[in-house]
Structure 1
Amino acid sequence: MALVLLDGEGDLNRPTTLTLTIEIEGQGHVATARGLLPPQPALVEQDAQWRSLYRNYQDHYAQGSEPSPELLGQCHQALQRLTTTFNNWLQSKSCREFYSQWTRILKDSDRILIILRLATPQLQQLPWQRWDWLQRYPQAAIAHFSPHHLFKPGRNREQDSPRDHLRLLTVFFADLPGHTSPLPHVETRFLQGPTPGQLEQALWDAQGWDLLYFASPHFPPYDLSHGLKKAVKQGLRLAILNSEQEIGLMQRFKALALPYLITTVEPMPEPLAQGFLRVLLHHLHQGHPPALALRRAVEQLPQLEPNYPGQGPIL
């Protein structure tokens, strides 16, 4: 197992410094390289253009009307422009040493966890899951922070009681989807618009939860931190946030020291979110680490729903 730490300093209106650190299991630190990327303000404009088109497209569905094929085409074109500019930027000549060190040390078949430690929101929101370099490494996965431990279902930290299945708590502060069918190998409980007491009681479940799926168009009007801290103490390892206010929610959840936190690029329509969740849980049940399970689920998103260009989760 190889760990690649990618530190980014700067923003897109001035040069960005990338520092690559490679660590190999059993060997420790083996290499460091730096690259200086040129300013690329076009990425800011193209990201904003894609998000605007995507939200316009999704608003049609929310209002019960069918978006035009032209609008879908514009979304795809905007996403392609953004992806092309992003990858060209990362292939700047000043980063040759960066990639040279990578290819010298790591083989295509290596299992690699890439940890992004990016200093500014501009860098964080770039489409890193669409980095062409990842195609060379099918066993590589990418995450935005360093996970605390590998994901193993069924371990309650307080009671230390193993289980042979995953436990999922799904919380909706919107309409509950009509097709929430049981997920294989997963014990699931659904809560729709719970009161503070109901949610607190669920989070305190004595058996503990492995995963929490949280769908809300807005912040709930009460504090979740006490119940969430208890859930983390009892074994909660992964939370998935699907919200229009995911940045604020993400900060709340990160403060709880969750091992893994998945957010969405843009709020994900529930039919697509449920399909993604099913695929993600399948790969987790197969024993994949969360970052690799996320990559596999993201790769299947276009097959799940081709009409949401650029949508995807971020770990």
Structure 2
Amino acid sequence: MGKLVFLKLDGELKKGFRVALEIWQENSQKISIRGKLPPVTELTTKIKHHWEEKYRFLGAPYRLKAKKKSWFRGKITPIGIFKDSSPNRRNLEECKESAKDLSSKMNIWLKSEQFREVDNQLRENLNQNDNIQFLICTEDLLLCKLPWQQWELFKSFPKIEPTFAPLQFTYNQKNRKLANKYKPRILVILGHKEGITLEKDQRLLEDLTKAEIRFLVEPKRKDINDELWEKCWDILFFAGHSETEGDTGRIYINPNDSLTIDELSAGFKKAVQCGLQLAIFNSCDGLGLATALSECQIPYIIVMRELVPDRVAQQFLKYFLQNFVENKSLDITVREARERLQVLESEFPCATLLPIIYQKPTAPVLTWTEIININQSTSNPNIKYVEPLIPVPP
């Protein structure tokens, strides 16, 4: 039995959140309750301390050196110091302990008295055997840095992979341009590759015989724009360097050029009208990319919430493709691929926390078969309309 859960968090960590929980089943709303989460300055500080001081300290390439491999698929602008050696054991252990502490503080916060009824309703109305889509709707990017996969609630529900979605969204039901096809069409953009190895990504995709693939290697901006406007794609894949500056995502497409999603927004919107269902950015620090792509109405987006080591990105893609072509749903595919990264965490702490899904709240469940057999409607058949939570007045 399928259920759709919206956990709407309106506010920010420093000021607290108004909470709305909605559980939908069989085209009707089963549960709708309100609650609160208190402000927690300590958690805000801990998020920044963990990711910026413990995790990135392991070897983020704040400045890439010629002919030197970097640990992360991170930014290429010289704004800091690149470490010449691999992380030592002490730094690795400190990062692991910091991750545990962040998870512990998050779970303590989610046990707040004002949130208890929301937690109770989730436990009472969800079943281990249910197929559950669980959307965390928020406009606070810092909230997306929390390790939600480690919420104690999810230990009881192995089929849940929490995804993120905007708090405010527009419900629309549009017909898509349909094409007679037997294989999904994938546009692959391999961007600037200084210090990292993108050939592994390329080989994994070349071996994907169940898809029709077009490669753009270190392209010009016009090359990408032309592909978005002139052809229909089901999946867009990017690998290379990227970063989030403030709330704005940026990708580096060749040694000389970078761009934001807004700079190609018209092309992305055109691609969605033509059937684009999924965008995968197998690159660093992608939350800013996800929010911008969501504004272009792309149904599903996969990004890395922080800097991602090159090997972790490669292994995630391998596991993801293996699962997705076997027709598992996108959320289960990502969960299983993400959890398989655990074997790398002795060398790359927090690897299992990096991949996340950001989605359009009304998007239907996505599988490989569904990409091939596109329905006429882009709306989720499980719901008719979900009322957005009214923003907190200034």
Provide TM-score, normalisation by structure 2: 0.70
Query: Equivalent residue of 1:203, what SS?
Result: helix
Q: Does the 8 A contact of 1:214 with 1:239 survive in 2?
A: no
Shift of 1:29: 0.8
243 and 302 in structure 1: CA distance in 2 versus 1, 3 angstrom threshold: same
Question: Residue 233 of structure 2 aligns to which amino acid in structure 1?
Answer: G
Aligned to 1:152: none
| Alpha-carbon distance in structure 1 between the residues aligned to 2:224 and 2:291 | 20
Aligned to 1:29: 29
- Deviations, residues 124-181 of structure 1 (Å, cap 9, x unaligned): 3322122121121112222112899xxxxxxxx5342232456351332234524342
Correspondence 1:210 to 2:250: no
| Alpha-carbon distance in structure 2 between the residues aligned to 1:17 and 1:207 | 40
| Alpha-carbon distance in structure 1 between the residues aligned to 2:217 and 2:84 | 22
Q: Aligned Cα RMSD in Å?
A: 2.9
Moved over 6 A (4+): none
Q: Does the 8 A contact of 1:174 with 1:192 survive in 2?
A: no
Question: Residue 155 of structure 2 aligns to which amino acid in structure 1?
Answer: Q
Query: Equivalent residue of 2:60, what SS?
Result: helix
Shift of 1:32: 1.9
Shift of 1:283: 2.1
Question: Residue 55 of structure 1 aligns to which amino acid in structure 2?
Answer: R
- Deviations, residues 218-256 of structure 1 (Å, cap 9, x unaligned): 442483234333332332211122455634433432221
Question: Residue 47 of structure 1 aligns to which amino acid in structure 2?
Answer: I
One of 222, 226, 229 as aligned partner of 2:269: 229
Shift of 1:64: 5.0
Aligned counterparts, 1:101-120, within 5 A: 101-120=121-140
Aligned to 1:97: 117
Question: Residue 194 of structure 1 aligns to which amino acid in structure 2?
Answer: P
Question: Residue 237 of structure 1 aligns to which amino acid in structure 2?
Answer: Q
Aligned counterparts, 1:34-53, within 5 A: 34-51=34-51, 52-53=53-54
Shift of 1:268: 1.4
Q: Name the % identity.
A: 27
| Alpha-carbon distance in structure 1 between the residues aligned to 2:222 and 2:136 | 37
Q: Does the 8 A contact of 2:178 with 2:275 survive in 1?
A: no
Answer 1 or 2: higher relative contact order, Cα 8 Å, separation at least 6. Answer: 2
Aligned to 1:127: 147
- Deviations, residues 14-45 of structure 1 (Å, cap 9, x unaligned): 4433221111124x111123333333222112
Query: Equivalent residue of 1:7, what SS?
Result: strand
Aligned counterparts, 1:31-180, within 5 A: 31-51=31-51, 52-59=53-60, 61-62=70-71, 63-145=83-165, 157-165=176-184, 167-175=186-194, 176-179=197-200, 180=202
| Alpha-carbon distance in structure 2 between the residues aligned to 1:16 and 1:227 | 35
Aligned to 1:9: 10
Shift of 1:111: 0.9
| Greater Cα offset, 14-23 or 197-206 | 197-206
Gaps of 5+ in 1: 149-156
Aligned to 2:356: 314
Correspondence 1:257 to 2:319: no
| Alpha-carbon distance in structure 1 between the residues aligned to 2:288 and 2:121 | 37
276 and 245 in structure 1: CA distance in 2 versus 1, 3 angstrom threshold: closer
Shift of 1:215: 2.9
| Alpha-carbon distance in structure 2 between the residues aligned to 1:271 and 1:170 | 18
Q: Does the 8 A contact of 1:243 with 1:267 survive in 2?
A: yes
7 and 234 in structure 1: CA distance in 2 versus 1, 3 angstrom threshold: same
Gaps of 5+ in 2: 62-69, 72-82, 171-175, 243-249, 252-257, 358-394
Correspondence 1:296 to 2:336: yes
| Alpha-carbon distance in structure 2 between the residues aligned to 1:87 and 1:183 | 41
Q: Does the 8 A contact of 2:285 with 2:308 survive in 1?
A: no
Aligned to 1:151: none
Shift of 1:73: 0.6
123 and 30 in structure 1: CA distance in 2 versus 1, 3 angstrom threshold: same
Query: Equivalent residue of 2:312, what SS?
Result: helix
Q: Does the 8 A contact of 1:275 with 1:304 survive in 2?
A: no
Q: Does the 8 A contact of 2:283 with 2:307 survive in 1?
A: yes
Aligned to 2:318: 278
38 and 64 in structure 1: CA distance in 2 versus 1, 3 angstrom threshold: same
| Alpha-carbon distance in structure 2 between the residues aligned to 1:202 and 1:64 | 39
Shift of 1:204: 4.7
Aligned to 1:153: none
| Alpha-carbon distance in structure 2 between the residues aligned to 1:125 and 1:282 | 27
Provide TM-score, normalisation by structure 1: 0.85
